Amino acid sequence: MADKEFNAFKMAQEQFDGVADILNLDQGTRELLRNPLREFHFSIPVKMDDGSTKVFQGFRVQHNDARGPSKGGIRFHPQETIDTVKALATWMTWKCAVVDIPLGGGKGGVICDPHNLSMKEQEQICRGWARQMAKNVGPINDVPAPDVMTNAQHMLWMLDEFEAIHGAKLPGFITGKPVGMGGSLGRTEATGYGVIYTVREALKELGIKPEDTTASFQGFGNVSQYALQLYTQLGGKTICVSCWDQEDQTSYSFKKESGIELEELLTITDKFGGIDKSKAKDLGYEVLPGDAWIEQDVDILIPAALENQINETTVKLIKDKVKIISEGANGPTTPEADKVLHEKGIVVIPDFLANAGGVTCSYFEQVQCNMNYFWEKDEVLGKLDVKMTAAYHAVSELSQKKKLYMRDAAYVIAIQRVAQACKDRGWV
């Protein structure tokens, strides 16, 4: 989002167009699927702590709901744009389809920076968002969730406002809630664990043991933290992570050749995933420029921050040793970079497969809320593992059978499922 030249939605459409050609989709289906069904723009007036009123811009995009209610997060970010939200909603449609859950794609956002807002101000933004969208979201038509810089508390404020408006208890309206308030056990770990479930399966296919590998992560938020945790449990060694520094308004990488100890690093990390540079140096970490994560001599790269991070320029920094890239973030790799990775023979586990653990567990939360019966954590993560593993192998098998790039294979499966649902409904 920081790159003014980059347009995530154009990238999403370009990716779709390439697969639409492979599938030989008719013109009507192409036009329907390459654009959102609905998009909402609205203003959220907030009385600030200093007595002034500030108006924040909010969005919600419902890309496609042929296979079920729209599903997708709400992110708070100062550089949020409607094109980013449209791209993310589009990718959510393919994400739900590739793991075969009965949901469509949606996404929301507010242009704001929670770093500079009090909890009271953030609560007003959340309640304002719910008021603006109350007639167009809900457990049977569009189910939001947390995303960048939003969390369980934000979701609970939105749920409370939504229930007050409708005069009913509707916990299935939103996912990512606190456990005990309709949230699902395992949801916090789900996206990061899902990334590593796919890495584990890719390593099996390559005949490599996890304990013989090293990795580098971009980002140190929720996804990275739990991916790093599970990867370490499998025996892998992480030598580098990067994060955004709010004070300097830039990113840094933190490297430790002997291997990063997650619990140690968490003691010097803020709630947004920012790592304290001076304390990191005291603990023996090298503090490097933000892009250093991508040029590490490792087996596995996991971009788990924002879009447009592996592009025409940065792809040149990737070492020959890298065998797997698992995209924990949405849209981290541009089409230009994809061509280079394909030529290098790197196994790229595409974003809407690799990070689908989050929406899969959100679906589990929605199911549990709607039937008012909640599963134990082991059951949730077990079901998640089964779903992610099955989805990975379906994509990998098609990739090998048709000699397709992994991203194209995942798109073929997802787009085919959504196109068929639109056709069966008589939309095209």
- Break the chain into its structural domains and give their ranges: 38-183, 188-354
Taking all residues of the chain, what is their mean pLDDT, rounded to a whole number? 95
How would you list the strands of the sheet with 38-47, edge to edge? 38-47, 53-64, 104-111, 70-77, 142-146
Write the single-letter amino acid at 209: K
Q: CATH for 38-183?
A: 3.40.50.10860
| Cα 45 to Cα 57: distance, rounded to the nearest angstrom | 9
pLDDT digits (tens, 9 = 90+) for 182-230: 999 999 999 999 999 999 999 999 999 999 999 999 999 889 999 999 9
Residue closest to 225 by CA, chosen among 264, 282, 181, 281? 264
The yes-or-no answer on residue 403 being catalytic is no
**78 against 5, higher pLDDT:** 78
Instruction: Tell me how far apart the alpha carbons of residues 313 and 291 are, in angstroms, rounded to a whole number.
Output: 11
Q: Which of 95, 107, 177, 323 is catalytic?
A: 107
Q: Residue 101, CB half-sphere, CA atoms under 13 Å: how many?
A: 31
CA dist 396 and 416 (Å) reads: 16
Specify the DSSP class assigned to residue 331.
S
Q: Tell whether the model's pLDDT for residue 400 goes beyond 60.
A: yes
Question: Which residues make beta-bridge pairs with 39?
Answer: 61
Interior/surface letters 82-113, b for 16+ CB within 10 angstroms, e for the rest: bbbbbbbbbbbbbbbbbbebebbbbbbbbbbe
E-only strand ranges, 52-139: 53-64, 70-77, 104-111
The angle at the Cα of 77, spanning 42 to 133, to the nearest 5 degrees, equals 30
Which pLDDT does position 32 carry in this prediction? 98
32, 309, 373 from 64: Cα distances, Å: 9, 27, 29
pLDDT band at 247 (very low <50, low <70, confident <90, very high): confident
Closest to 33 (Cα-Cα) out of 48, 41, 23 = 23
| Nearest C-alpha neighbor of 79 from the set 14, 7, 132, 146 | 7
Give the span between the Cα atoms of 55 and 46, in whole angstroms. 6
Of the chain, the end-to-end C-alpha distance in Å amounts to: 34
User: Per residue in 59-100, pLDDT tens?
Assistant: 999 999 999 999 999 999 999 999 999 999 999 999 999 999
Distances (CA, A) of 118 to 126, 140, 275, 394: 12, 33, 21, 46
Q: Tell me, what's the pLDDT at 303?
A: 97
What is the share, in percent, of the chain residues with pLDDT greater than 70? 99
Q: How confident is the model at residue 330 (pLDDT cuts 50, 70, 90)?
A: confident
pLDDT at 411 over 50: yes
State the residue for tokens 């050749």.
257
Q: Is the pLDDT of residue 301 over 70?
A: yes
Structure tokens at 127: 């309640």
> pLDDT tens digit string along 115-162?
999 999 999 999 999 999 999 999 999 999 998 889 999 999 999 999
* 4 has a pLDDT exceeding 60: no
Tell me which of 250 and 104 has the higher pLDDT: 104
On the question of pLDDT at 284 being above 90, the answer is yes
Sorting pLDDT into bands at 50, 70 and 90, what band is 307? confident
Is residue 328 within 8 A of residue 388, CB to CB? The reply is no
Confidence of residue 3 (pLDDT cuts 50, 70, 90): low
Q: What is the per-residue pLDDT for 1?
A: 43
Q: Output Rg (C-alpha) for the chain, integer angstroms.
A: 21
User: Tokens in use for 171?
Assistant: 């916990």
Which one-letter DSSP state was computed for residue 178? P
**CATH number of this structure's domain 188-354, picked from the four choices 1.10.390.10, 3.40.190.290, 3.40.50.720, 3.90.1150.10:** 3.40.50.720
Domains 38-183 and 188-354 share a fold: yes
pLDDT band for position 43 (cuts 50, 70, 90): very high
What residues have CB less than 8 Å from 151, skipping those under 6 apart?
Answer: 176
Q: Which of 221, 113, 102, 126 has its CA nearest to residue 174?
A: 126
Structure tokens at 53: 């009123």
Q: Are 223 and 357 in contact (CB under 8 A)?
A: no
- How far, in Å, CA of 167 to CA of 169, rounded? 7
Confidence (pLDDT) at 2: 45
